[in-house]
Amino acid sequence: MAEITAAQVKELRERTGAGMMECKKALVEANGNIAEAEVVLRKRGIASASKKSSRATKQGTIGTYIHSGSQLGVMIELNCESDFVARTDDFQELVKDIAMQIAATDPKFIHKEDVTAAVLDKEREIQKARAIAEGKPEKIAEKMVEGRLSKYYEEFCLLEMPFIKDNSVTVAQLIASKIAKMGENISIARFVRFKVGETVAAEEATTEQQG
């Protein structure tokens, strides 16, 4: 496997506008070939999508997904740039797909940057303790923590999750491909997930704590 240099990543980023991590992954997949890596990014929709990522998304739609049996439901606000795109079948399908993703995976955050410092500190503490319990020296355990945090992001941050219909792409990559196809920036504004019984369980836990 070819060694990927910072200069290669920089060049690919300048050519495509994609993020550093996306560029590095594409270069690894293309065995260091910049032209092939650019094709990889274009296939994923990341290259053209990243150029639109700073544009305002003030239109969109609120969609819902109710799982079979009506015990689980999701409401999501997905934004785009124009009402025209918001009404298209492609956009409505994306709304439904992301709502289904939320129903199936129960994410706690949209972006990994949304994870609070307190949550990260707690997770680092847990993962370090796990590594030490596995017999790893403390210095090695500390290095393992960051790698395991990536797994945490994949499990709890919506955009970092593998897409349930195609786990070879993340939700972020799915959205990027739709941005490239529709020609507008798309962003997840907010969502809420309802599950029958969770409110009762939360109330009981609060009562126990107060008692």
Identity of residue 157:
C
Q: Is 66 helix (H, G, I), strand (E, B) or coil?
A: strand
Domains of the chain: 6-50 (1.10.8.10), 59-112+157-203 (3.30.479.20), 116-155 (1.10.286.20)
Residue 200 has pLDDT above 60, yes or no: no
As a whole number of angstroms, the distance between CA 10 and CA 1 comes to 19
Cα end-to-end span (Å), the chain: 60
pLDDT value at residue 120:
87
| Structure tokens belonging to residue 173 | 């990559």
Q: Give the tens place of pLDDT for each residue, 146-171.
A: 778 888 889 999 999 999 999 888 99
Q: What are phi and psi of 78, to 5 degrees?
A: -110, 130
What is the average pLDDT across 19-24? 81
As a whole number of angstroms, the distance between CA 39 and CA 4 comes to 17
Q: Give the tens place of pLDDT for each residue, 40-77.
A: 887 776 655 656 656 777 899 999 999 989 999 999 99
Which helix or strand (DSSP H or E) is residue 54 part of?
A: none
| Structure tokens belonging to residue 205 | 């836990």
